[in-house]
Amino acid sequence: MYVSMSEIDLVEVLNLDKSMSVGEVETILDSLSKETYFRFLFEELPKLLKKKDYEEINERYKTSDDIDELMDELVDRWPNLHIEFRLQIISNTIKKEFIVNYLNEMKSDYKDSLNKDSLYLDIDKLIVEINKEQINKDLCWKIKEEMGKKINILNK
């Protein structure tokens, strides 16, 4: 089954729930969410609004701790900007970056292991698949399972 990045659960594809505590996973997800809003507010939004409007929003963001209220206001004031769609695109980009960076770190974690080459091939296959517009979810899970088996062997 082919899906977009928004359909990929990064916790599941990276087995974060098996290697981290619930609190650590929540911290990562929260950080990725904050990064999405940060990129939207400071990279995307200045391109979309008039300078005066952007400066007003920017000031309010700096003094407010309720990002949801601010985003609701943006959606209400500028419905033609399709903010939810833009946030989804940014979120997908950040998720893809996180997965690829995590997998590259995994390669460095196993650089001194014997028989790491076949694990590296699987990691590279998964990176290639994740970088596609339409991701073969079944293939990702198959590669992920193969990686898990190899990691278990390397860790023994």
pLDDT digits over 68-110, tens only?
A: 888 999 999 999 999 999 999 999 999 999 999 999 999 998 8
Number of domains in the chain: 1
Structure confidence at residue 32 (pLDDT): 96
Task: Work out the average pLDDT over 152-156.
Answer: 79
Query: Once rounded to an integer, what is the mean pLDDT over residues 144-152?
Result: 90
pLDDT score recorded for residue 114: 64
Average pLDDT over residues 123-133: 96
> Could you report the per-residue pLDDT of 19-67, keeping only the tens digit for each?
899 999 999 999 999 999 999 999 999 999 999 999 998 888 888 778 8
Distance CA 12, CA 137 (A): 11
What is the per-residue pLDDT for 123?
A: 95
Task: Give the predicted TM-score (pTM) of the model.
Answer: 0.88
Is the predicted pLDDT of residue 138 greater than 70, yes or no? yes
For residue 85, the enclosing domain spans 2-155
What pLDDT sits at residue 92?
A: 97
What does the pLDDT read at residue 117?
79
Task: Identify the pLDDT of residue 94.
Answer: 97
Tally of CB atoms within 10 A around 155? 8
